[in-house]
Amino acid sequence: MRIVGNQQEIKNLHKRLVRSLDKFKSEGINILTGHKGESLRVDAHYSEELNIWWSFGEAEGKSGRRYWNAFGLGRPTKNRLVNIICEINYPFNGINKRVAAAWLEDEGEHVLIHSGKIGGGRAGIGKRPFQQRYAGSFADLTLPELTGKYTEIGNLDNPRLPYQIKFFVEEVARIKAEIVSSNQSSGSSSDPRDEIKTTFTEEFSGTKEYENSGKVVSNCDHGLVVSALKSIVETRGYQVANDSPRDLYIYNNRPQITHVFEVKTAISSQSIFTAVGQLLVNNARISPKPKLIYVVPKELNNNLRKTLAKLDIIPLIYDWSNSKATFKNIEGVLKQ
């Protein structure tokens, strides 16, 4: 496992990223964009299917020379000033910790990773608040050339890469809006989640780590699964949220957490033990005990199902349809 620092390698990876998004391009639109009082005219590419726009270029400044990859939501208007939701920039060459994104390579797989360092120009918007609120997952990267918490945005070898990028852009927009709204609101709140968060701040949360050898088990689909699950559960009239120890949970107005979901994108001994441990330990002190739901990409064998049943853990199987996660027997699981 390594961080790609060779200039030509990064250039080739950038070209592959451009080609992957270009397949979804609906039209090109000349726009004005920028920040900190400066405007820049750029050619943006809009995708009707993804409902995001992007513009690629190069930039040089205090953070060094880098690929400038700007993204926004919705269809931009020609010749009008458009808001950049986020930039997914990586160094032009070498390894630069001041630039938020980088390419991670392991046995031929290339994954776009991000530290969560997002701009916003508003109080409270930054790396740590983003990591805490993000519906995807962050893990500790401990390589000689780069350390810190990073999330896997997308895998170049995964056909769902454009959807993975869309998810990241939407999460940045959502979290920025939440922080701004929180800053503008008064100290009192009627949201039951506030009491839940206060009640469970001392819950144990284990630290996820990248394996320093062997094949990367990509978590790039994790956010897509959580997002699809959230959407489906909300359409059934439930209130949902997430926090650091929990991928997703359902809560009521009492306030109580009634269901907790732990999402895994692969089936292995390590992921099974991790999921079971997170469900049991992170929720051990919640009373009354919520339903614990283990979300996995394929059917489990009978022995594992019996073991989970003894632990009061309910499996929920998902599959993919047109790059969107679908869930088997979601109705039955929610009624349990």
- Parse the chain into domains and list their residue ranges: 1-184, 191-336
Q: Which of 38, 76, 81 has the alpha carbon at shortest distance from 59?
A: 38
For the cut 80, the answer to whether the pLDDT of residue 39 exceeds it is no
Kindly state the tokens that stand for 309.
Answer: 């049943």
* Residues 124, 181 contacting (CB under 8 angstroms): no
* Residues 51, 71 contacting (CB under 8 angstroms): no
The pLDDT of residue 47 is 96
For the cut 50, the answer to whether the pLDDT of residue 92 exceeds it is yes
Report residue 200's pLDDT band, with 50, 70 and 90 as the boundaries. Answer: very low
The pLDDT of residue 126 is 79
- Give whichever of 7-16, 179-188, 193-202, 281-290 has the largest mean pLDDT: 7-16
Look at 85 and 37; give whichever has higher pLDDT.
85
Measure CA of the first residue to CA of the last residue in the chain; give whole Å: 42
Strands (E), the chain: 2-3, 27-35, 38-47, 52-61, 64-73, 81-82, 86-87, 90-91, 101-106, 109-114, 138-143, 146-155, 239-243, 246-251, 257-263, 291-296, 313-321, 324-327
Report residue 210's pLDDT band, with 50, 70 and 90 as the boundaries. Answer: low
The pLDDT of residue 209 is 52
For the cut 60, the answer to whether the pLDDT of residue 188 exceeds it is no
Assigned CATH for 191-336: 3.40.1350
* Residues 102, 10 contacting (CB under 8 angstroms): no
